[in-house]
Structure 1
Amino acid sequence: MTMTTRTHRTPGPSPRAAPRLGLVLFACCLGQFMNVLDASVVNVALPVISDDLGFDPHNLQLVNNAYTVVVCGFLLLGGRLADLFGQRRIFLGGVGLFTLASLVGGAADSPTTLILARALQGLGAAVMAPATLTVLGTTFTEPAARAKAFGWWSAVSGTAGAVGVLAGGVITQWFSWRWILLINVPIGLALCALVGWAVPETRRPGIRRRLDLPGAVTVTLGLMAVVYGTSESPGHGWSSGHVLGPMFAGAVLLGTFLVIQAKFAPEPLVPLGVFRNRSVAAANLVAFFGIAALFSTFYFFTLMLQQVLGYSPLRTGLSYLPLSVGIALGGWGIARFVPRTGPRPVLLAGLALSAVGLLWLSRLAVGAGYVSDVLAPEILLGLGMGAVLNATTNAATAGLPPEQAGLASGLLNTTRQLGSAAGLVTLAALSAARIDSEAAAGTPHAAALASGYGLALTGAGLCALAGLAAALWVPARERPRD
């Protein structure tokens, strides 16, 4: 008979909370769905928003960038808050702020109001997203149940981005762009009630509620500056002061943050020793390249379908259904294998499938058929990325004590956001240069666009291959000794 001791047992849910595990999982998945959905749902509606509110074309990108910059900046702080002040309390605060910001954004009557609302949405998401992973990591402590929970969370994370394109097209075409934000209000209110009733609190008696304020300020401002500078590159060029100034300031702030963490912080926001955990370090590297590939694809694949193949917003959204289903099947279906094999084989297989799908999609040209040219690589990409999202989440939280669950989830979500921002703007610059070159050579407009977007999808495929190389560093699963 196996003996266990109370002193070393990982805290799990209380007996009162145990019957509610399904509701806890649903709440975490719904919170993550809202977060990821709002990063992509606005894309299809941007032209309509511009006409309705009178946006300057050069400022329209701020509708998305305000959300992305704030999310990236505050994710680490949001993850640590859940560790220090309780996962349920912080989860509720994030959902409440996100819901309120959605109401303000949906009722906006000027560009400034909408941009500020999107920034507040980003702050709510930065608090909510790491809390969802923290709750799962501390509630589902048995390996098989933990893998299944992370599988559902990962499947939702991946499919939400693709569903966002579909939802944006449907809502914009049939209703009003305002409902892509207002729909969050009833969902957010229901989620608040669910979190308050089903999610257990995890304030641990031995932990002092002391926040590393200098570290929080420097890392938040540093990440925001880097992401903002990167987001300005498509409009101003990499050598512009609009790009180099914020990126230099961000680098200085992040360097200061590392010094604070290493030398001065009595309770650092990010204990640098966490990166001595090889699984955590490697998983975050994989996440950076994997998400750079996936979320760049959402942008360029949408443009390819609409501007090269001539799809309407609604048809574009419907075309994403196989990708969404593939991500769901890859993320959920692979969960049962991760405890047996460890995350590394799953990551290698998933990234290889993703790379093949992306390089295949990069060959799309004017006149390509959906069934003959799009469907198969789309399914390969979905299955591969679903597996990658699942296994990365497992690897990034492996071997850490429960009190660092929020830290690990904040790191992972920050890495993902940085990967999506860096991948998108880099590939956008390459794509724009190719399109300009093709146009100068007299190539027809649609063919020039296909060439530029195809180059971007090739770059996304190379990001997947870079992630595959990083996955080789993930520790192999240790076989139990006899």
Structure 2
Amino acid sequence: MRITATTRSPGAALAVLAGAQFTVMLATSIVNVALPQIRDGIGLSDSGTTWVVNAYGLAFGALLLAGGRAADLLGRRRVLLAGLAVLGAASLAAGLATSSPVLIAARALQGLGAAAIAPAALALVMDLFPPGPGRGRALGVWGAVSGAGGAAGVLLGGALTQARGWQWIFFAVAIGTVLVLVGAVISVPRAPVPAPVPVPANATAQAPVTGSGRFDLPGTATVTLALTALVWGLTTARRSGWTDATVLGAFAVTGVLLTAFVLVERRHPNPLLPPHLFRAGRVTVGNALMALLGSVWIALFFFLPLYQQQVLGSGPLVTGLGQLPLAAANMLGSTLAPRISRHIGATATVTAALLTEAAGLLWLSRISAHGSYAADLLGPGILIGLGLSIAFVQLTALSVEGVAPQDAGLAGGLVNTSRQVGGAIGLAVLATLAGTATAHAAVHQPQLEALTAGYRIAFGVCAAVLLATAALAPLLTRRTVTGPSEAGRGPAPQPAADGRH
């Protein structure tokens, strides 16, 4: 049974689900500005400070697929509520932490809760709003709060750290999560766990129908450990270098575990990632482009605050306030994305958005060591906010389009995983490039000029990645619908030549 808009007023439920996504993004970004204060307040080493960020990212990125499949099998509302409870409790524990092991463990638990919330909430949005303009508007709201949550994290983190101390950044997440949890209990409709889907007569062992049944524990374990090893290796490479034995060992373990995952999936009757999922709609291309977008997204919000604080000399609060124009442009773009897509088509919308964001990053690649916020960051931030939000909304929609209802949670987990893993890879590579450029420049330039040279390289490479992504966007016109994923749903409409849908 699908939840429909007629089951209960969808507006309140959408507001709560958007609030859940907001808390996930808030928990992701709120620590960035406060890291120096956290390090001094709790006595962290440099590597310990890094793990305040990495522990969350590792758990979040590695467990998203498991969270998405758990939502499909156990019930999306149930998994959403459990994830909110874990995130709230972990945030409270982080704020009360007096030692680095407790803080880092609490951050990992925050990531676990977020990995349950994000795919479950997105799947519930897809349930509430069937394909059409209503779903487009709902995903526009989803994209707006995603961008607003990231910017609010930087702003709120700076304000709370400066006014009340770093502990309050975690208390704020805990309070917000409890409010969303109460709202979800009241407003999000109950729905039964998806019933078993009959296997069509022409289904084969290589393309099983999923959506219920036994949880793929071996597949979940191998892919979760593989993603953990990959993200850990990438984050370690930023500090120790790509040729470090530990980093190479992590990548080797990743390869072995991914091979084991493929072998397990071929034999499991109800695999975590069923092959038919990648033959539905635009799942494969949409996720590939989302990974490329993620590689730029996470790096952008890593380097921008560093430039503001280390080069321009801004404090935490001023750095947070500097994110407001970008956040406003992000919210505007998310609102406009469905309308633009209806007029010019999905492919043209994604392409234009990526080119707009690339233009902003090219502008950023001209920053000066003696510049100013108004001259160097304001204009690029608006372009980036518009392009990023429109591309995010459209790629999210395309990555779950055509997926059978019983696979919606998994599809939501997959697109979030693509963004997170792409972001981890992109940040590791770009941090290495920026660090190398800074080291070379420091030989014959003052420190500020050397740092700026590294940031310029990072922003320039980000722009190049987006230009390449835009060149691949026409592949989105190839919409495939086959077999079990669409069983019982009838033929799907084919896209027009220009990629409209």
Give the TM interval when normalised to the shorter protein. Answer: over 0.9
> Aligned-pair distance for 1:252?
1.1
Residue among 239, 255, 269 paired with 1:266: 269
For 1:229 and 1:133, how far apart are their aligned partners in 2? 29
Q: Look up the equivalent residue of 1:400 and give its one-letter code.
A: V
Aligned to 2:258: 254
Cα pair distance change 1:14/1:146, threshold 3 Å: closer
- Residues 50-129 of structure 1 mapped to structure 2, 5 A cutoff: 50-129=39-118
Runs (4+) of structure 1 exceeding 3 A deviation are: 339-342
Q: Look up the equivalent residue of 2:447 and give its one-letter code.
A: H
Residue 144 (structure 2) pairs with residue 191 (structure 1): no
Determine helix, strand or coil for the equivalent of 1:60.
Answer: helix
The sequence identity of aligned pairs, in percent, is 38
> Aligned-pair distance for 1:427?
0.4
Give RMSD over aligned pairs: 1.7
Q: Assess if the C-alpha contact under 8 Å between 2:26 and 2:173 holds in 1.
A: no
Aligned to 1:460: 462
Q: Look up the equivalent residue of 2:82 and give its one-letter code.
A: G
Residue among 181, 194, 213 paired with 2:217: 213
Residue 384 (structure 2) pairs with residue 381 (structure 1): yes
Residue 307 (structure 2) pairs with residue 318 (structure 1): no
Cα pair distance change 1:445/1:143, threshold 3 Å: same
Q: Look up the equivalent residue of 1:40 and give its one-letter code.
A: S
Aligned to 1:161: 150
Report how many residues are paired.
468
- Residues 297-336 of structure 1 mapped to structure 2, 5 A cutoff: 297-336=300-339
Q: Look up the equivalent residue of 1:36 and give its one-letter code.
A: M
- Residues 175-190 of structure 1 mapped to structure 2, 5 A cutoff: 175-190=164-179
Aligned to 2:485: none
For 1:311 and 1:320, how far apart are their aligned partners in 2? 12
Aligned to 1:232: 236
Aligned to 1:150: 139
For 2:290 and 2:220, how far apart are their aligned partners in 1? 23
For 2:134 and 2:47, how far apart are their aligned partners in 1? 48
Residue 471 (structure 2) pairs with residue 469 (structure 1): yes
For 1:456 and 1:259, how far apart are their aligned partners in 2? 38
Aligned to 1:242: 246
Cα pair distance change 1:454/1:14, threshold 3 Å: closer
> Aligned-pair distance for 1:384?
0.4
Q: How big is each residue's C-alpha offset from its partner over 1:29-69, in whole Å with a ceiling of 9 and x where there is no partner?
A: 11111111211110111111111111112221000000001
Q: Assess if the C-alpha contact under 8 Å between 2:3 and 2:189 holds in 1.
A: no
Q: Look up the equivalent residue of 2:262 and give its one-letter code.
A: L
Q: Which deviates more, 471-480 or 293-302?
A: 471-480
- Residues 13-32 of structure 1 mapped to structure 2, 5 A cutoff: 13=4, 15=6, 17-19=7-9, 21-32=10-21
Q: Look up the equivalent residue of 1:401 and give its one-letter code.
A: A
Aligned to 2:481: none
Cα pair distance change 1:49/1:299, threshold 3 Å: same
For 1:33 and 1:311, how far apart are their aligned partners in 2? 26
> Aligned-pair distance for 1:340?
4.8
Q: Look up the equivalent residue of 2:172 and give its one-letter code.
A: I
Structure 2's unaligned 5+ residue stretches are: 198-211, 479-493
For 1:235 and 1:141, how far apart are their aligned partners in 2? 46
For 1:30 and 1:457, how far apart are their aligned partners in 2? 31
Aligned to 2:441: 438
Residue among 419, 422, 426 paired with 1:423: 426
Aligned to 1:7: none
> Aligned-pair distance for 1:209?
3.7
TM-score, normalised to structure 2, is 0.90
> Aligned-pair distance for 1:473?
0.9
Q: Assess if the C-alpha contact under 8 Å between 2:119 and 2:413 holds in 1.
A: yes
> Aligned-pair distance for 1:339?
4.2
Q: Which deviates more, 34-43 or 426-435?
A: 34-43
> Aligned-pair distance for 1:299?
0.9
Q: Which deviates more, 156-165 or 171-180?
A: 156-165
Q: How big is each residue's C-alpha offset from its partner over 1:162-196, in whole Å with a ceiling of 9 and x where there is no partner?
A: 22111111111111111111112222222112112
Residue among 293, 296, 300 paired with 1:293: 296
Determine helix, strand or coil for the equivalent of 1:61.
Answer: helix
Residue 384 (structure 2) pairs with residue 367 (structure 1): no
For 1:266 and 1:201, how far apart are their aligned partners in 2? 28
Determine helix, strand or coil for the equivalent of 1:384.
Answer: helix
Cα pair distance change 1:337/1:14, threshold 3 Å: closer
Q: Assess if the C-alpha contact under 8 Å between 1:85 and 1:209 holds in 2.
A: no
Residue among 161, 173, 196 paired with 1:172: 161
For 2:85 and 2:47, how far apart are their aligned partners in 1? 31
Residue 207 (structure 2) pairs with residue 204 (structure 1): no
TM-score, normalised to structure 1, is 0.94
Q: How big is each residue's C-alpha offset from its partner over 1:342-396, in whole Å with a ceiling of 9 and x where there is no partner?
A: 4211110100000000010111012213223321111111100110011011100
- Residues 320-359 of structure 1 mapped to structure 2, 5 A cutoff: 320-359=323-362
Cα pair distance change 1:300/1:78, threshold 3 Å: same
Q: Assess if the C-alpha contact under 8 Å between 1:41 and 1:168 holds in 2.
A: yes
